[in-house]
């Protein structure tokens, strides 16, 4: 017999009667049901779908433990084993057993988890992937660290190109239902933030991370990347090999680890188990019992006794070697898995190195362009310096007529009257900094946005770590532009929060106004000059819950009916509030 898996679920929502229809739908007339007081036992014998010589034995025990008159706990124990068609279910032979790799995911486990309300080791089970939102990353990571020792966690990274996950996370969650909890980022910026907080156990582009223990104390966590994500070949005995996708490899890995988990004492009666709790010890006991029975035949002739004794010695040696062989095979498989994990980690580092090299090449090109531009600007400055020298007498005369002490004071006065404060702006690569995002928006979407100098200035001073998240916020505003414009034209009230969030591809928090106490105390900080005109901008997009400047950013804006564009006054640190 080849032990396959053992899972223990609990629920306060479902009774044992709710399990029977699912198993009947899955097994049909092959299902056998036995009832003992508060214990339901469901047994199914079925042929392996890919190998007719292998039989799968499934045993599901459901126990109901009442707490009071109206409530109780339903505990469900699932055990699956494989055996050769001619083998007895109670056989403990170590030879000629089906390979463990023949074990397949079972649909009825997914159907049970999909009911909702089931836990494993106290952790809620999910049948679909959990989408992680940008503002929830810190809290999500704490949950991962707290739950990983009790239930494995799968983090699906982004694809090598684009914003989509490297593989469909819901398909992975379907196959691993009951064994692990699957997570994926709701956006590219969210994935960047997740990797930043995950540190050494991050899921780089093109990878999937499996976390089976607390990553704060154990940095060695398996990663699937490169060849390991493709259809791989695994030996299953002799020259025979098996092709299996990474989802099935994860399933087999988690199924094997499920056999090592301890179960409550209420299930400790060995006679009720399909799979013995300690298989090797039971084999030794049975062999010793067999030896004792053979030695009891004292009435046999001496020569026969000597032959029996010789056989016993050889049999003991054979059994010891067989057990030792199985131990060595298990140890070898663990080493192979560890070697595969290390190979995957090396592949991940190679992938990251290639990405960094590409970024370095990109930065070199940008630097080259900047040097060329600086050279051109120096030439222009030299030419215009001559013009300024010719203008100095005229400017001095004009400053005197306007009542200024110098030409510089004349320039400052004209700038203040025409444009407000102007800051020198340097073009930066898109997504590299918050300022770079704003400059890109200004240049590419000038028909929808009017960026104030104050917004450029606050963006330049910002230390926010995730510029891609700022780009996603502006994409949300761009997607909402037509609706906001139409409402503005028709004189309707604009609910920025409702419209923007409806058109967002990921979750954002948007405020239509500030509190009365904040505006009373800090109204001036919400006043911005755009195109020579002052505006009060209460509406703002909130990015990040952490108040640290590198993890928090606010975008203050308003839609102007006359200019028919979003006016952006601030894009940087959290502005002061009445609570400060």
CA distance 70 to 558: 56
> Is there a contact between 318 and 326 (Cβ–Cβ < 8 Å)?
no
**So what's the pLDDT on residue 429?**
43
Cα dist. 357→10, 172, 344, 360 in Å? 50, 32, 20, 5
133 three-state secondary structure: coil
The residues pairing with 64 across neighbouring beta strands, listed in sequence order, are 74
The residues spanned by each domain of the chain are: 1-90, 121-264, 291-418, 419-572
CB burial class (10 A; 0-12, 13-18, 19+) of residue 315?
middle
3-state SS track over 472-519: HHHHHHHHHHHHHHHHHHCCCCCCHHHHHHHCCCCCCEEECCCCHHHH
Residue pointed to by tokens 């994860």:
250
**So what's the pLDDT on residue 325?**
77
> Is there a contact between 216 and 142 (Cβ–Cβ < 8 Å)?
no
| Consecutive H or E run containing 41 | strand 39-47
CA distance 152 to 158: 20
CA distance 556 to 536: 9
**Fold (topology level) of 121-264:** Glutaredoxin (3.40.30)
Residue 59 DSSP symbol: E
Which one, of 234, 237, 257, lies nearest residue 245 by Cα? 234
Tokens of 321: 């070697």
**So what's the pLDDT on residue 397?**
73
**So what's the pLDDT on residue 112?**
96
Q: If you compute the radius of gyration of the chain from its CA atoms, what whole number of angstroms results?
A: 35
**So what's the pLDDT on residue 361?**
77
Q: How far is CA 460 from the centre of its chain?
A: 31
Residue 183 phi, psi (nearest 5): -130, 150
Could you tell me which CATH class the domain 1-90 is placed in? Answer: alpha beta
For the whole model, what pTM was predicted? 0.71
Q: Where are the beta strands (DSSP E) in 393-448?
A: none
Nearby residues of 108 by Cβ (< 8 Å), 6 or more positions away: 22, 23, 26, 27
> Is there a contact between 246 and 191 (Cβ–Cβ < 8 Å)?
no
**So what's the pLDDT on residue 271?**
47
> Is there a contact between 248 and 175 (Cβ–Cβ < 8 Å)?
yes
Tokens of 40: 């339901």
For helices 279-295 and 302-402, the axis angle rounded to 10 degrees is: 180
Low-confidence ranges of the chain (pLDDT < 70): 86-96, 231-243, 267-306, 308-310, 312-313, 315-317, 319-320, 323, 399, 402-408, 410-411, 413-431
CA distance 215 to 69: 42
Residue pointed to by tokens 């660290």:
145
């Amino acid at each position: 017999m080849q032990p396959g898996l053992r899972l223990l679920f609990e629920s306060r929502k479902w009774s044992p009667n709710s399990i029977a229809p699912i198993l009947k739908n899955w097994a049909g007339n092959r299902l056998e049901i036995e009832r003992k007081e508060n214990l339901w036992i469901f047994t199914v014998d079925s042929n392996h779908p890919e190998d007719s010589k292998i039989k799968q034995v499934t045993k599901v025990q459901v126990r109901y433990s009442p707490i009071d008159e109206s409530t109780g706990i339903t505990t469900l124990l699932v055990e699956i084993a494989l055996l050769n068609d001619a083998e007895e279910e109670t056989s403990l032979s170590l030879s000629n057993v089906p390979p463990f790799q023949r074990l397949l995911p079972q649909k009825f486990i997914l159907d049970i988890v999909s009911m909702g309300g089931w836990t494993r080791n106290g952790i809620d089970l999910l049948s679909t992937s959990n989408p992680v939102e940008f503002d929830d990353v810190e809290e999500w990571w704490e949950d991962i660290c707290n739950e990983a020792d009790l239930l494995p966690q799968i983090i699906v990274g982004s694809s090598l190109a684009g914003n989509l996950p490297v593989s469909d996370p819901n398909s992975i969650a379907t196959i691993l239902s009951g064994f692990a909890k699957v997570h994926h980022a709701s956006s590219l910026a969210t994935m960047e933030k997740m990797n930043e907080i995950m540190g050494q156990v991050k899921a780089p582009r093109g990878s999937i991370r499996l976390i089976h223990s607390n990553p704060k104390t154990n940095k060695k966590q398996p990663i699937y990347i490169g060849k390991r994500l493709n259809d791989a070949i695994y030996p299953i005995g002799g020259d025979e090999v098996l092709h299996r996708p990474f989802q099935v490899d994860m399933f087999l890995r988690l199924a094997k680890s499920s056999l090592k988990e301890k179960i409550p004492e209420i299930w400790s009666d060995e006679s009720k188990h399909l799979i013995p709790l300690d298989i090797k010890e039971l084999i030794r006991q049975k062999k010793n019992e067999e030896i004792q029975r053979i030695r009891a035949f004292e009435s046999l002739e001496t020569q026969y006794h000597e032959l029996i004794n010789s056989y016993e010695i050889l049999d003991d040696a054979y059994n010891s070697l067989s057990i030792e062989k199985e131990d060595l095979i298990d140890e070898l498989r663990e080493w192979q898995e560890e070697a595969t994990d290390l190979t995957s980690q090396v592949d991940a580092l190679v992938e990251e190195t290639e990405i960094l090299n590409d970024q370095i090449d990109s930065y070199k090109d940008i630097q080259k362009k900047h040097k060329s531009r600086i050279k051109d600007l120096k030439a222009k400055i030299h030419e215009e310096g001559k013009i300024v020298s010719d203008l100095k007498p005229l400017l001095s005369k004009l400053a005197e007529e306007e009542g200024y002490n110098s030409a510089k004071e004349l320039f400052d006065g004209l700038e203040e009257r025409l444009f407000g404060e102007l800051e020198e702006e340097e073009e930066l690569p898109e997504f590299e900094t918050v300022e770079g995002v704003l400059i890109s928006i200004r240049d590419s979407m000038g028909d929808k946005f009017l960026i104030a100098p104050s917004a450029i200035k606050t963006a330049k001073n910002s230390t926010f770590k995730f510029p891609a998240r700022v780009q996603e916020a502006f994409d949300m505003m761009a997607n909402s532009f037509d609706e906001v414009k139409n409402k503005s034209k028709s004189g309707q009230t604009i609910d920025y929060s409702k419209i923007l969030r409806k058109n967002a591809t990921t979750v954002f928090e948007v405020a239509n106004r500030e509190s009365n106490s904040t505006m009373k105390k800090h109204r001036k900080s919400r006043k911005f000059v755009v195109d020579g005109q002052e505006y009060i901008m209460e509406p703002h997009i909130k990015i990040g819950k952490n108040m640290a400047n590198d993890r928090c950013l606010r975008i203050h804006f308003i839609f102007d009916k006359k200019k028919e564009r979003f006016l952006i006054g601030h894009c940087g640190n959290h502005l002061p509030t009445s609570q400060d």
